[in-house]
Amino acid sequence: ETGVTQTPRHLVMGMTNKKSLKCEQHLGHNAMYWYKQSAKKPLELMFVYNFKEQTENNSVPSRFSPECPNSSHLFLHLHTLQPEDSALYLCASSQETVSYEQYFGPGTRLTVT
C-alpha atoms less than 13 angstroms from C-alpha of 16 in its C-beta half-sphere: 0
CA 39 to CA 60: how far, in whole Å?
18
Q: Which is nearer to another protein, 40 or 83 (CB)?
A: 40
CB 49 within 8 A of CB 42: no
Please count the residues of this chain forming the interface with another protein, following the rule CB under 8 A: 28
Considering only 8, 14, 56, 61, the residue that binds another protein (CB under 8 A) is: 56
Residue type, 47: F
Nearer to another protein, 18 or 38 (CB): 38
List of residues contacting another protein (CB under 8 A): 2, 4, 31, 33, 40-45, 48, 50, 55-56, 58, 88, 90, 97-107
